[in-house]
Structure 1
Amino acid sequence: MPEELLARVKELRHLLHKWNHEYHVLDQPSVSDAEYDKALNELVRLEEENPSLQSEDSPSQRVGGAPLSVFEKVEHTTPMLSLGNAFNEEDLRDFDRRVRQGVGNEVSYVAELKIDGLAVSLRYEDGLFIQGATRGDGSVGEDITQNLKTIRSIPLRLSKPVSIEVRGEAFMPKKSFISLNEQKEELGEEPFANPRNAAAGSLRQLDPKLAAKRNLDIYVYGIGNPATTGVNSHSGGLDLLDELGFKTNNERKKCSNIDEVIEFTSSWVEKRPALPYEIDGIVIKVDSFEQQDELGFTAKSPRWAIAYKFPAEEVVTRLVDIELNVGRTGVITPTAILEPVRVAGTVVKRASLHNEDLIREKDIKLGDYVIVKKAGDIIPEVVHVLLEKRTGEEKDFLMPTHCPECNSELVRLDEEVALRCINPECPAQIREGLIHFVSRNAMNIDGLGERVIAQLFQEKLISNVADLYRLQKDQLVAMERMGEKSATNLIEAITTSKKNSLEKLLFGLGIRHVGAKAAKTLAQHFETMEKLQSATIDDLVAINEIGEKMAEAVVTYFHKPEVVHLIDELKALGVNTDYTGPKLVNVEDIDSFFAGKTIVLTGKLEILTRNEAKEKIELLGGKVAGSVSKNTDLLIAGEAAGSKLDQAKKHGVEVWNEERLVLELNK
């Protein structure tokens, strides 16, 4: 290959990377669009004529490659947890009080705009972008690398050859959103409801060339495992991301106290509409990584961060009808049917009324003009009736005495507010139970959305969850709007779900009072479906986090003959009924220094990562805590250990360095 050809390709790549960073990250273009396009077209031509010159980090990758057949699953190295919410100043001050109780009064925060888009993870090895994924359920997402490469503000190669995982929010600017919807309307297609849906829809479809046309953008807001970078604060992490060539949002502020945070959030309530992209709040994080470690996490979110949600926009519309829906547990939920109205960027046609008592309490009548808002900018709700607009033609709404789906008599259980249909053969309950069974946190069967489930149920191809595993490809192909490729992918997804660990199945079965967390606790403790089925109430309440109400619900569920038959059917169809996740450790069976001890890690570890040390200690029966207390048995102090080391000395806790920890772990 001629040296001048190789040199020209390298020169074009260098120039295009430089121009791209100037335009999309620094907002300081140095060449015209025409000159950029001319250089890119030349590079694409040279690479097509000389395939051996093609490279994963070439700017040519941004135009989008061949369509994908399916998204692969990606397990996040550290979970992408959601944040708790604050809706007013009082909530923010409560958050600050909890933080200071955990780490003392010397605490600073970083306040940042909360971009309304799709959370993604970007992974780099030796500076090269190798994988991008959606948040998914926080633990497992989807590989959307090829689509993310089309976002020009994502660097394909970093300024330094580092290995790092970062998190960001991909979004569609308002200008791009308006243009896209105009195109869809011209083609007679349904427009996107808001920029967030448009961004998610663009990245979660299988044609990268289509994603490339959508003009998406991104702001990177954090590092997946900051302990590997050498920085000791969130603000320092953002500075590092800037140095590496990422696009971070400059509209952020380091605040020395909660008063400065509140001032920052208040200022953006007014300035929000002027931004060229949508935001739905402000994210507040404790700046110090050491203090973040001390505060730790709840089961769902970090204790060191919170999302302040802007006050909900309220609009007036007319309530034209009330529709009744039957949920998977038989609860009858009234839903307001509204004259369409735009609220917080989305056209709203429906709003939940929760139950009969709420309708009475708010004196809601058919035909009323009502105030509607979105709770947390997400869920539409009726705030109150505009009594002054009544004409006398409004009509009272009466809850039915019989199920709108199966006509069985409705009842109230345990003095509940809600009316329930208790007919186990109610079609609506079966249909909703099927939708729950295939959902992300349950069996996670891609391609089985509400529409497909409803269609399968209506055509009598499924009547219970076991029937899903009897479906054949030819049955699916015969369905409306189901091509051969979609049918093949769906059968593969159903087959893959058979391998899920027991907790997924337990949650999917929809046992009353058993959520995803309780399902995992039960699966870890009993390990097999057979052992759980034979458990008594006493066996269950002996488990931490399992109360008497839940225990009674579990025993009642597994003693039903139809449930016993269903479990047998699922086993016969090859569905796994064993727990395959990390085993619970019985410390009495472990001969280890760490068994039964509470250990705290602090400072930067050089030999092990924080996660590796935690996993090894837990496998040997130890418990790793986030903060030092009188119950702490041992502190592992790495480089630059701070306040935890002082607290350990104060409490007389034994202190080891990392070398001694490794020696003990390897015994």
Structure 2
Amino acid sequence: MTETALDDSLSQAAAEAATLTERILAARDAYYERNEPAISDAEYDGLVQRLEELERLFPELQSQDSPTQTVGGRAETTLFDPVQHAERMLSLDNVFSIEEFRDWAAKVERDSGRSVHYLCELKIDGLAINLRYENGVLVTAATRGDGVVGEDVSENIDFVPGIPRRLAGTGHPPLMEVRGEVFFPVESFAELNAAQVASGERPFANARNAASGSLRQKASTKTPAQLRLMKARLGRLRMLVHGIGAWERPAATSQSEVYAVLEDWGLPTSEYFRVTPNPGQAAEFIEYYGEHRARVSHEIDGIVIKIDELELHAELGATNRAPRWAIAYKYPPEQVNTTLRDIVVSVGRTGRATPFAVMDKVRVAGSEVRQATLHNQDVVKAKGVLIGDTIVLRKAGDVIPEVLGPVVELRDGTEREFVMPANCPECGTPLAPAKEGDIDLRCPNARSCPAQVRGRVEHIGSRGALDIEVLGEVAAAALTQPTVPETPPLPTEAGLFDLQLTDLLPIQVTVRDAETGLPREDVDGSEKLRMPFSRNPTAAEKKKGLTGLQPSASATKLLAEIDRAKTKPLWRILVSLNIRHVGPVAARALANHFGSLDAIRESVAADLATVDGVGGIIADAVLDWFQVDWHRDIVDAWVRAGVQFTTPGHPGPGAAARADGVLSGLTVVATGSLEGFTREGAQEAIIIAGGKSAASVSKNTDFVAAGPGAGSKLAKAEALGIRILDADEFRILIEQGPGALPTPPPIIS
């Protein structure tokens, strides 16, 4: 490279570095000082990584006050008194892959000249706090600030439960600094946001900012009512200690021993840590919690790996901002920013009108997302989002994406409010609550609203109902809402079993997304979606004189599958009727007990309600369904078409016995979002395997299958010591029985 070219490259790098520095510092200020994140964690990490790369290529660009060499946060504010830490409070360097972690571990072992032990612990997404104890008495609690000077939040820390003002035991050093994180447990954060919404306030975007905003308040500026609210919020916070700062001669030789000492002194330490003898087992810990992070009671965004031997901490030392003896493995982001382009209203098979956020496509938690439900007009208002906003999007594990709120600071005045339509966007019928007091609006035109008919037909073909291959989203739309012909083959589902090949050939359809109702693009540029059941004749067929549309393989297969579905088990027929509350579990219970649809129809509510797995609400829903004339028309049409509404050989109501299976005699609770299972699908799988699917956790529960969003049921299972299974383990349980389950890995050292 010529000298001129080198100068140009340096000049361009310097300009980019200056821009990156400005953006990073602005983001830090918004995040640490105003508790209003202007960009997502992933975007921030990307900016820092790019600046680090430039500084490696051009070392002359790196200065002592570069964001890569300093800790985030200000040293002093006008709100709190400054506190100088006895020992500098550092941040952590990050790695984003197992390979990067292994490279770090290899360098540590090269630099130390020995094999080491790795202490792995969860990286809490909270607010860093430094507790200073003198002779066992808490003197100050301070934020990290710039690492040297923080803010004195001692008066507020007094309201956070679990932090001892005087240490238990004996042997306390004259001066000791303990570092940890203050955070909201997941359940407490959900309760806090629910209270925010109920009081008309905007919910917090994330738990970390809520924790920081709650702790960094001045009691002297509050009215009595505000002070009570402030204390209540502080009372929901928790703290876990994860390290030491100043401590001249620790009464331990390893980090794990330090935790034991701190626990004996009454300080709150985490149970989620493990000491491993090599990087391979540390990587297993990282991967385990990457898959099970939703089980943890607090938010985490990664794993911190520390060298366990304390003597190596001093030997390895630190950079200006981070120790060389520790690293943070960052998981893929579960919270990102994107742009809200529109809010559209979709009508589902039950008539519920649901607003959906349509966003710029963004990758979060390992998958691409472009839409998220906003539930109803009240939720849109409570979240405070405007069309055109930059919004914060969260997707924990495999849970449905959730819009948390707007980044208000990025508004430019072009944003506009969402207005809930007064009429059904599909059929024009005025929307209304199903009953007085309901928040949700529904389309009351249940019989013939195209969206509801489409949803019901798609449900009939689903795995939980008749499991009709080919009858999915595209086929349901084609049969109920075609662009050609003008009159759909299925104005209602009553005619499903009477379909003929001639009904399918002229169909053309614009396929719309099942949630947002927006037109979907053809996946491969062909006419498979536009003409799902027909095709143009081949050259050979044209030579034989065939000129019109010919049936596709999908058309003939659909009709064959519909014909086969006529004799499927009664419980599947019951599910396909779209009776409210009657999913696979209740349908199986009704079919097993009564044996025929006629016996169900002739029963009274009390008889239906006594069936295990049914109850009063479902009993009333079943009888109410048969009171509607067009519902009876569906049954009559299906009977004429040959649908079998009886279980052959069934001895009559109440005489059926449940068959034994691998779960015979066992009670299992399925909760949260289990990958590969709907809620009803998981319950059905338990029953098919011979087990009892329970709705609540008790001492009689044998297993709890828990996915993201499990909530209080998971907490109760943990308190009772019940074996908790993830989706993969649940699959083993229902297919092979409890004896095939693997021994759970130890997670506590």
TM interval, short-chain normalised: 0.3 to 0.5
Per the normalisation by structure 2, the TM-score is 0.38
Per the normalisation by structure 1, the TM-score is 0.43
